[in-house]
Structure 1
């Protein structure tokens, strides 16, 4: 039977990879330089989070989880269908920012529960750092959205 910590790490790795892939993809599509830069920055930070979680993961499927791919790819459409749709149709930076805000909030909610539940101090510290960064991401996206969406 898999431990709760291992399940939490697997969830976090998938979350960070999906976010990384989405932000890289969105950065490649954005025409607005400020939006493109924030998406590129967030992609880089999501890759750092994923690496921190992978370093602690001991499951047998680590090779599948760590496949980040260097070529810009499309995020998993099962999880990011609305995000991909917003990007693949006529790209709308405001819509992409709004959807990214929703994804960051979902991550905040998930990581908050994990931080409150995990008992291992070192693992909990990794999730706390990712949670702090995710809250910062949310605020960066919110500020960019407000600037971009203003008439």
Structure 2
């Protein structure tokens, strides 16, 4: 039923990915002008740090001795998260482009977390991956909602009103 994977390696990679995501949102927030979009990206950066903390607690490696030091280290510019945001920042940056990129990255991360969770025997470790997958899905929905607001689309809470009229 379970495919054999190196669980500690998967945890370490997930910890690094959450740090990369945090750095992605921090950089995006510094480039935005819209106060609400900035607030969303700042909140997402904070939550990505919390996600990394979930993984840090179950990581048994000794190469990351201090969580705060690890998280506060300079961003890995080679990561797919940072490379994508840097490319967006260096082109015609808009909140729309940053939000579209964030939705894409969160959707992909959710899939990866769920796929990895399905390969882990240890129930406690699997639960951490599943929790992070659910929270990542919530991030996608938050970004999607902000995207709809920025694009002046009908918000999901107003959908009933427009359907009835």
- Normalization by structure 2: what TM-score? 0.80
Q: CA deviation at 1:75?
A: 5.4
Q: CA deviation at 1:59?
A: 1.5
Count residues in correspondence: 147
Residue 18 of structure 2: aligned partner: 16
Alignment of 1:57-136 (within 5 A): 57-63=59-65, 67-69=70-72, 76-79=77-80, 80-136=82-138
Structure 2 runs not aligned, ≥5 long = 154-165
Q: CA deviation at 1:27?
A: 1.2
Q: CA deviation at 1:60?
A: 3.1
RMSD of Structure 2 on Structure 1 (CA): 2.1
Larger-gyration structure (1/2): 2
Cα distance in 2 for partners of 1:75, 1:32 equals 26
Matched, 1:32 2:34: yes
Q: Which moved more, 1:75-84 or 1:127-136?
A: 75-84
Cα distance in 2 for partners of 1:123, 1:17 equals 19
Structure 1 runs not aligned, ≥5 long = none
SS of the equivalent of 1:67 reads helix
